[in-house]
Amino acid sequence: MRPIVKKQRIALFSPQGFLDGSSATGLITMQDMEVTRSTKVSMVLVSMKKVIFFNKNGISILLDILTKLQKEMKVTIGFCDYDRKQYEAFFNFFEGEIPFSLFRTLDVAMLFAGGLSSKEGEENVLIYNEDSTQRSMQAIEIFDRGYNPVVVQTREEFNRRVGESDTFVEIVENTYLGFMGSRIAARTRGNCVIYYLKGFLDGSVTEQFDVIYHQNCLKVGFQLFMFDATRVSSLNIHAANFFSRLSTAGAEYGALIAIVGLDMEKTPKAFVEELEDAGIIFFENETDFFTDEIVQSMGGGGSAVKKEKNRLTKPVVARLPVLVDATMGTLQMMTNMVAVKETMKIQPFEAKGEELMASSVAFYGDIDGMVTLVMPRRLVQKSCTLLIGEESDEEEVLVDALSELVNIVAGKSKTMLQEEGVNINITLPRSYVSIDDLHATLDGLQGVQVNFSFDDYPFTFYLSP
């Protein structure tokens, strides 16, 4: 079945009838794959519009083929044009963790396929997902493509806003952005980075784990790292040695590594003892980890970051205008306020004011550095209304929203730098409720501090090595 290319963005396969183990085998031939490889698309999708019946065997066979294309072409793979019952079936087949993306319609997929809105900030897209992480990820992707995401937090609010369909160019529901590629997935909870492991762990874990990414998370100030091993069957000596080395290296930063949910009965006792000797702590479940006294004592603490360099390089400083423009453009749009630049100076970090909150994100690649945003709590509330749907005063909600805001800024910066031929990767953001903790992270560094004001609200942008 030859794919149909939609607006040079999506290669679309459209099977008909039954999609099971027997019919799926010959659906996409070697010749079809060659045709797909010759395109310059950002997605390869299978439309379920004309599918009467499908099962896990059929989907798995197609997924094997799509995964090969994904690895070769660096594209997003997945399915589109399904109903609610089919959407739920995908999650049932793969026990809630699906390694591909789902787009309710082809039009929704087009929003995420790389095309930019011609009317930046004017075209509203309504977004709802039961999972808060998915809501934020989708909002960031939509925002990066020039649209204005309107995120709602509850099904009731979504149903109410759907009645205003004339207000939105598209409605994004029953859509899922899957973790693409073979890298180990990561997310944050508070000031902890959580990595998700699965299957049998052997020497290949060193290829799947992005060590540079992890090092930059340490650089941002993260000290807690949890490896979720609930889906791990067992591990061998090569994987055990990897975790031991990771823990030893993290000790220089005062970091704690924990493995949660590992089946101890299937894990050789010698491996467990080796990991414990390296400083790794084991927990039965996530609740035990987050309620542990040691973990709680480190959750808000400052970082003992090893300062390998304390001055910015010229290539990084040269990109300062791009980073500042991405930041201020985003904040001005989200707050509907005009920012006024007050001072800019190369100096150690300095922040004064009441009820300040901050978040940092590191970047690495063609240039390396870290961006930190500092603002009063009230400005965080105004800036993050788009992401949380209201001006919440709950600390946990604000911290999470501030992290997502920094994610948006980092994503925008990455896109703008790519347009100038500069490629970077970004870490997860680390947010600070206490400015003392931030001072501990930035202590001894010399960076560029740019101070702004939004009406009466002070705002600090700090670029550091």
Three-class SS string for 370-390? EEEEEEEHHHHHHHCHHHHCC
* Class of the CATH-defined domain 314-464: alpha beta
Task: Report residue 284 as tokens.
Answer: 């039965």
* Domain 1-115 homologous superfamily, CATH: STAS domain (3.30.750.24)
Contact status, residue 381 vs residue 400, Cβ threshold 8 Å:
no
DSSP string of 34-91? Answer: HHHHTS--SEEEEE-TTEEEE-HHHHHHHHHHHHHHHHHHT-EEEEES--HHHHHHHH
Instruction: List, edge to edge, every strand of the sheet that includes 192-201.
Output: 186-189, 192-201, 224-235, 256-260, 281-283
Q: Torsion angle of alpha carbons 116, 118, 121, 124, nearest 10°? A: -80
**Cα–Cα distance measured from residue 311 to residue 220, given in angstroms and rounded to the nearest whole number:** 16
Q: What homologous superfamily is domain 186-299 in, according to CATH?
A: STAS domain (3.30.750.24)
Task: Let me know: does 275 contact 240? Beta carbons within 8 Å.
Answer: yes
Which residues of the chain form CATH 3.40.1550.10?
Answer: 314-464
Is the pTM here over 0.75, yes or no? Answer: no
| Entry field: residues in the chain | 465
285 near 261, Cβ under 8 Å? yes
| Cα four-point dihedral sign 231, 234, 239, 240 | positive
* Cα 313 to Cα 22, 317, 463, distances in angstroms: 58, 6, 11
Query: Which residue in 427, 439, 435, 429 sits closest to 405, CA to CA?
Result: 429
**Residues 261, 288 contacting (CB under 8 angstroms):** no
End-to-end CA, the chain: 51
Report the pLDDT value the prediction gives residue 388, as an integer from 0 to 100.
61
The amino acid at 56: K
Quote the DSSP letter at residue 308: S
Token pair in block for residue 321: 């205008």
State CA 433 to chain mean position distance. 21
Return d(Cα 298, Cα 303) in angstroms, integer.
Answer: 9
pLDDT, tens digit only, all 465 positions of the chain: 788 988 778 999 999 999 998 888 888 988 999 988 888 888 999 999 999 999 999 999 999 999 888 878 878 899 999 999 999 999 888 875 677 899 999 999 998 886 554 444 468 889 999 876 677 667 767 776 778 788 887 888 898 888 776 788 899 999 998 753 335 566 777 678 888 887 788 888 887 787 877 887 887 778 889 998 888 888 888 889 999 989 888 887 778 899 999 988 888 888 888 898 888 999 998 888 888 877 777 654 444 444 455 677 888 888 899 999 988 888 887 777 888 888 999 899 998 777 899 998 888 888 888 899 999 888 888 777 766 666 667 777 788 778 878 877 887 888 788 778 888 888 878 888 778 888 888 888 889 999 998 888 899 999 998
Q: What is the pLDDT of residue 184?
A: 59
* Cα 15 to Cα 7: distance, rounded to the nearest angstrom: 20
What is the per-residue pLDDT for 390? 62
* Residue ranges, CATH 3.30.750.24, the chain: 1-115, 186-299
